[in-house]
Amino acid sequence: MDIDKLFKVPKLPTGGNKRRMPDAPTPEMLKRLRTDEEGTAAPSPQNGTLDKGKSRAVAVEDVDEDEERMETDFAPGGDADYFAEEDEEGRFYGGGLTQEQKDILNIFDRVGGDEAREDLEELSLPGIRRLLKRFEAAANKNQDQRSKYPDDPAKFIDSEADLDAALKALLSLAQAPLLAYPELVKTGTVARLVGLLSHENADIALDVVEVIHELTDEEVGNEIEEEEEGEGTREEALKMLIEGLTENAIFELLVDNLGRLNEAEEADRQGVFETLGIFENIIGSNADFAPLLVARTSILKWLLDRIQSKTQHDNRGYAVEILSILLQNNRANRLEFGKQDGVEIALKVLSQYRKRDPVDADETEFMENVFDSLCSALAEPEIKRLFLDSEGVDLMVLMMKEKMRAKSRSIKALDYAMSGSSGTAVCEVFVEALGLKTLFSTFMGKTQKKKAPAAAPASEDASHTLGIVSSLLSNLPSDSPARIRLLAKFVENNYEKAEKLLEIQDAAQTRLKTVDKEIEAEKKDLIAEGEEIGPEEGDLWYLRRLDGGLFTLQTVDYILAWIIMEDDGIRAHVQQMLNRRNRSLNDIIDTLQIYHDNVDEDDTNTQDDGSPSRKEILKNLIAFLEGC
């Protein structure tokens, strides 16, 4: 293979008066050519600006368009300097870097040249300290020049570019959290970094958001062995950094910065996404920061406004995800959600899915997160009252009837809204809204969709349906029309719904037997190894049993006990069906006794209105069944 021919510069087309170069010019010819070119006058610029188009036309005036494109595009690997870096004999010395890669290196060169690049490669403690000093110097210089020349951007534009580059260089610190994060806090760099969120230039603020988002990622430093970095753990280093950020009002400044971002711009849209990511990172490290974020800022209002928007699905989806996180297990945030008209807004957003399904997976996830946020808030009695006032029960019943993807989630929302004695009013309105017919159609499996799969598994629908029936039996007043209508559902069609309960009971017991065998095997192994079985292991096994069918079994037997006590005809039919299965009411009693013994004393649903707790109800049901 002739290497010279392989890398030969393409010939220019013939024609015109342009001087042609031999295929293998001698050094003397190259020297003579340079002398001739130096003596040629360059075209003079017009109006102080060189006309690039005309100068190129003079240089390659007769180049065919196709061959010109070939010359422009031909650069293996996209090497930006493939043609520029040549020696006298035409050999190339391209670095193999694209233009973007070269621009990144140029940024580091502007900050500190080769030293900055070495610091990034080493990530040693001295290198980290030099990076922090350069950042501090760049920030101070920019602040000084902006204060001296506030009305003359030309005077401080260079310092702003240096500050931008210095901030970009800090991204690498996420690779060495054990070394870098204590230095960030100890040197006061965290305070200076957070302060730049209020910088006059929004681009600088976005740089800060990017840096903080990278530094607070829970995966920081995963690729580096911890024993090589120093003492302590990544979690401890991250905790130290996050505490430093919160002490410097990171929440307030981030939320204020959201107000000046325009999501029509790509950079600002990314900035919003990363800001929400910071909130998720910080709350993920410590859930105690969730109430602080809501109490100290207007983030809840911003999130509620954002989820109502019909644009930018990525950030809208992320906004409702953050909302769901903020409402998890936090009464203060849930009550604030209610004060901010969150229930009304959530119902308004969900109403669009009454007659149509989400268009894609992202919108489906968005819808489910709105439902999850509402369900979390419905754990509070105050939110249940707002749910009633906003006609949320009626909307959920309508969604159940429409059989769209939102149907499963509407059943879940109703389950949460009716739970506990504080859900009594919701139960009554549900019956008045003719919800029983649709509920029991779902319960009996008579509403399977044909055109699209359900948004939730059938088992999840069944679980929430059982929860609703359980709440109705617990909360509807005795001898009330609503309760009579409920009991009538179990009598109609020759007790088919009572038989359905027994079928679900069989399936749950089968699942539970499998889990119990696994637990017994584990117990034997622990005893054989001489391990002591304590309360902690017992609690873990009980949770496994709940997931493995015990929870469903408890709910079914709770419902069976109620309807057996309420109606003699149902009792006789259930006893007959149990006898066919070689079981009796004692099996139901055993399940309810386990349920009773594990009900949390602090969560018995006792209310000021004198309603009995769940534990008291279970005790009375057990006593009745024992007397049968």
Tens digits of per-residue pLDDT, 173-206? Answer: 999 999 999 999 999 999 999 999 999 999 999 9
What are 5-27's pLDDT values in tens digits? 444 444 444 444 434 444 444 55
DSSP state of 123: -
Closest CA to 614 of 554, 565, 549, 574: 554
509-522: average pLDDT: 94
The answer to whether residue 367 sits within a structural domain is no
Give the pLDDT of residue 59.
Answer: 37
Q: Spell out the residues 6+ positions from residue 491 whose beta carbon is closer than 8 angstroms to its own.
A: 567, 569, 570
Distances in whole angstroms, Cα of residue 54 to Cα of each of 38, 42, 254, 498: 20, 12, 50, 90
Q: Which of 48-52, 243-247, 590-594 has the lowest mean pLDDT?
A: 48-52
Give the pLDDT of residue 372.
Answer: 96
Distances in whole angstroms, Cα of residue 114 to Cα of each of 93, 117, 168, 169: 20, 5, 16, 13
The answer to whether residue 101 sits within a structural domain is yes
Which of 211, 234, 258 is a domain's end point? 258
Instruction: Give the model's confidence band at 609: pLDDT under 50 very low, under 70 low, under 90 confident, else very high.
Output: low
**Could you give the number of structural domains in the chain?**
2
Residues 169 and 104 sit within 8 Å (Cβ to Cβ): no
Q: Which of 34-38, 51-55, 229-233, 236-240 is modeled with the greatest confidence?
A: 236-240
Q: Which of 46-50, 63-67, 397-401, 443-447 has the lowest mean pLDDT?
A: 46-50
The answer to whether residue 493 sits within a structural domain is no
Q: Rounded distance, CA 288 to CA 603, Å? A: 22
422-426: average pLDDT: 95
- Half-sphere exposure of residue 74: CA atoms within 13 angstroms, side-chain side: 11
Instruction: Give the model's confidence band at 154: pLDDT under 50 very low, under 70 low, under 90 confident, else very high.
Output: confident
The answer to whether residue 515 sits within a structural domain is yes
What are 427-486's pLDDT values in tens digits? 999 999 999 999 999 998 865 444 444 444 457 888 999 999 999 999 999 989 999 999
User: Treating both helix axes as pointing N-terminal to C-terminal, what angle do 153-169 and 99-112 enclose, rounded to 10 degrees?
Assistant: 100
The answer to whether residue 210 sits within a structural domain is yes
The answer to whether residue 603 sits within a structural domain is yes
Count the neighbouring beta carbons within 10 Å of the beta carbon of residue 271. 27
Which of 258, 293, 326 is a domain's end point? 258
The answer to whether residue 484 sits within a structural domain is no
DSSP state of 449: -
Domain that holds residue 153: 83-258
Residues 262 and 196 sit within 8 Å (Cβ to Cβ): no
Amino acid symbol at 149: Y
What are 484-503's pLDDT values in tens digits? 999 999 999 999 999 999 99
The answer to whether residue 22 sits within a structural domain is no
Asked if pLDDT for residue 230 goes beyond 50, the answer is no
Asked if pLDDT for residue 600 goes beyond 90, the answer is no
Q: Rounded distance, CA 281 to CA 274, Å? A: 10
Give the pLDDT of residue 312.
Answer: 61
Asked if pLDDT for residue 285 goes beyond 50, the answer is yes
Distances in whole angstroms, Cα of residue 527 to Cα of each of 8, 84, 182: 80, 76, 46
Which of 204, 236, 258 is a domain's end point? 258
Give the pLDDT of residue 220.
Answer: 63
End-to-end CA distance of the chain: 100
Answering whether pTM is above 0.85, one says no
| Structure tokens, 17 | 């008066």
Give the pLDDT of residue 192.
Answer: 94
Closest CA to 299 of 242, 331, 239, 257: 257
